[in-house]
A and B are shown apart, each in its own frame.
Chain A
Amino acid sequence: MTAAQPIVEFRDVTKRYGDGPLVLDTVNLTVFRGDFISLIGPSGCGKSTLLKLVAGLNPPSTGGLSVLGTTPKAARDRQAFIFQDATLLPWLTARRNTEMLLRLRGEPETERRRKAAALLDLVGLAHAADYYPRQLSGGMKMRVSIARALSVAPELLLLDEPFGALDEMSRFRLNEELLALRARTPFSALFVTHSVAEAVFLSNRILVMGARPGRIAAEVTVNFGPVRTRELRAEPAFQEKVNEVTRRLHGVEEHGA
């Protein structure tokens, strides 16, 4: 591997909607290839807005933002977005939902069939390929959503609280599965979450954000290596890291108040 290659660069980026208050204040951030970065902070800290800027769904108000060496919009076909709810189309089966992004890109049917089948197999849903979303549990829907996002082999995956609505056990399992998927199809990730434990388990960098105006208040590095198993959660070092991030988070909230 060569020296760390920057794939997202925020330079003095601010964002406000119309004449509204400042949502993001002077964000400077470099994401390197291979990073798994979690964004954590109180509501109103602009973490979802930051994600939407990278996705090119909103433009920054001031400052410079480059994604994968180009503009966010031009980089769209090399990234994928996973929403808080699974955003599956209810009238399509799991298989057809998984194919949707490839279909929008005009990929031939046999090719997208093959890819979707392989991905559903990868997320453990080969048996449910012909189910409609309403027949799937929350965790299964999110797995289909992940399979759909990975179908386009994104270099950068943007996840906006994807597991927020799931129970704790499903969340833990999907955390582990996400890391396992990453070992097979490497992608960098920006991950918005409210769960400190989730952030520590998944990330190599955690950005603690503050609110009103939204800003990056602190960065915590997590050095547990790329291979992580569920046993990690029981280790003292893991708990220490959780405590450290929690302390930073409390600091931010007291400052904001």
Chain B
Amino acid sequence: MKKPAGWMIWLLPVASGLCFAALWLGIKRLGDVSDWLLPTPVQILEAALQERSRLLVAAGNTALGALAGFLLAATSGLLLALLIGASRLLRAAFYPWLLVLQMTPVIVLTPIIVLWAGPGFPGIVTITWLISFFPIVANTTQGLLSADHNHVGLFRMANATRWQELRLLRLPAAMPYYLAGLRIAATLAPIGAIFGEYMVGNAAGGSGGLGFMVYVYNTQIKIPALFATALTSCLLGFIFVAAVSLLNWAVLHKWHDSFDRNDH
């Protein structure tokens, strides 16, 4: 495939964005849609500016819940993957159940989670953890099992212990997979936190997160502020993914082929 030139990469999204805004305004003008149903982009930016202190505090709270759930998922996911990746027996015993749990929509479990973990922050973190946990386990397990069989042969020939094989071969070989899992989890964690806040966050009292703001603005019928909340959530998601991409680069860029600039 032909690569677009450098300036095109910047210009094209800007151009398509402008087209989209024009379409937006066109529909509004032609269909005579009221501001109440569909505000203009300018009105949304105004609302964002007006509500900035509340949205910032809310985004901070959401970030905290998302980060806690994400870190919990990143550590517990790795540990569980190590457990089921290291033993064929454990894998056979638990992997199917893991899939069953993954197939269960978290929304169905929400009341139970609130019952067990409690409303507010603990419930939010639990929901975030549940949502971002599976891609990490699935990816990392895959990575632990896909070590090059010649490398495994090399280790066997050298009479390596199972622990050495895990630590010096399978774990580093699984790193790209683990990081790919983290990247998926990074997109899911803020979503999980906002969903959690929307469902159980309003019981916490005090200042809520972005999910709580959705609830508040909705009851106040502040539609531009709802759009502004969406924008803020989007930015938060970007920050999460960017952070994991940075981590991915730091760990892999020296040796992994995905960072190979010159083909040889």
Contact = CB atoms under 8 A, between A and B. Distances in A.
Interface of A: 55-57, 76-77, 80-81, 83, 85, 87, 89-92, 100-101, 103-105, 132-134, 152
Given A132-B254, A134-B255, A134-B260, A104 B151 contact: no
Given A57-B156, A81-B157, A104-B159, A132 B168 contact: no
26 contacts: A55-B157, A76-B157, A76-B158, A76-B159, A77-B159, A80-B157, A81-B153, A81-B157, A83-B150, A83-B153, A85-B150, A87-B148, A87-B154, A89-B169, A89-B172, A90-B255, A90-B256, A91-B173, A91-B255, A91-B256, A100-B158, A101-B158, A104-B158, A104-B164, A132-B254, A152-B158
Contacts of A76: 157-159
B63 to A, nearest CB: 32
A105 B150 CA distance: 19
Contacts of B157: 55-57, 76, 80-81
Contacts of B32: none
A88 to B, nearest CB: 9
Contacts of B155: 104
Contacts of A133: 255
A104 B160 contact: yes
B175 interface: yes
A101 B260 CA distance: 27
Contacts of A80: 157
Nearest to B172: A91
A156 to B, nearest CB: 12
**Chain B interface residue bracket vs A:** 20 to 34
Interface in B147-184: 148, 150-151, 153-160, 164, 168-169, 172-173, 175
Interface of B: 148, 150-151, 153-160, 164, 168-169, 172-173, 175, 254-257, 260
Contacts of A56: 157
B253 to A, nearest CB: 10
B159 to A, nearest CB: 6
Given A87-B150, A89-B169, A132 B255 contact: yes
A183 B256 CA distance: 37
A103 B167 CA distance: 12
Contacts of A87: 148, 150-151, 153-154
Contact of A83 (B154, B160, B169): B154
A55 B153 CA distance: 10
Given A103-B168, A134-B255, A89 B260 contact: no
B154 to A, nearest CB: 5
Contacts of B260: 134
Contact of A57 (B153, B172, B256, B257): B153
7 closest residue pairs by CB, A with B: A132-B255, A104-B158, A87-B150, A91-B255, A91-B172, A104-B160, A81-B157
A247 to B, nearest CB: 34
Nearest to B155: A104
A85 B154 CA distance: 12
A132 B154 CA distance: 19
A85 B160 CA distance: 20
Given A80-B157, A89-B172, 17 more contacts: A57-B153, A76-B157, A76-B158, A77-B159, A81-B153, A83-B150, A87-B153, A90-B257, A91-B172, A91-B175, A92-B255, A101-B158, A104-B155, A104-B160, A104-B168, A133-B255, A152-B158
Contacts of A57: 153, 156-157
Contacts of A83: 150, 153-154
A100 B175 CA distance: 19
Nearest to B165: A104
Contacts of B256: 90-91
Which of B151, B157, B160 lies at the interface centre, i.e. has the most chain A CB atoms within 10 A of its CB?
B157
A152 B154 CA distance: 13
B250 to A, nearest CB: 13
Which of A57, A85, A104, A152 lies at the interface centre, i.e. has the most chain B CB atoms within 10 A of its CB?
A104
Contacts of A81: 153-154, 157
A211 B194 CA distance: 66
A133 B172 CA distance: 15
Contacts of B173: 91
Nearest to B254: A132
Nearest to A77: B159
A80 B151 CA distance: 14
A158 B200 CA distance: 64
B152 to A, nearest CB: 10
Nearest to B147: A89
Contacts of A90: 255-257
A125 B151 CA distance: 22
